Amino acid sequence: MERGKCRGTCFHSQQCVENALHALVIEKGKRPARTHDIIELLNGARAEGWTLSLAPDDAVFLNRVYRGRYPTEEGLLPHGAPTEADARRALSAAETQLSQVKGAPSKARRDHRTI
């Protein structure tokens, strides 16, 4: 968030969560939904048996951040462009989700293979 890069922090935090959720579904041998919707991806990962702590209101918030990335859609956050508080919230959600994914048992580790 250095230099006031709140929009970038929010966007990349959303991308981190999105890709982490995709990875969990792939780990179960399934094809993840082709969507950027964090709620849909979260539900898909949970349906595959993953226990995840991402709060629903954080998922909704991250969805708003993604949709608000492009200039024509600016202002989809209730108060306009993301603030530093928004960036901190997005980053916290991403860090939490990523730590859960890193701690998830992977098939490669179970099989003692390297990737």
Based on its alpha-carbon atoms, the radius of gyration of the chain, rounded to whole angstroms, reads 15
Class of domain 2-110: mainly alpha
CA 49, 35, 62, 9 dihedral sign is positive
- Over residues 55-107, the pLDDT tens digits come to 999 999 999 887 655 555 554 565 677 889 999 999 999 999 999 888 877 65
For residue 52, CA distances in Å to 21, 23, 45, 76, 82 come to 10, 13, 8, 26, 25
Three-state DSSP at 85 gives helix
Give the residue extent of every domain in the chain.
2-110
Does position 31 have pLDDT exceeding 80, yes or no?
yes
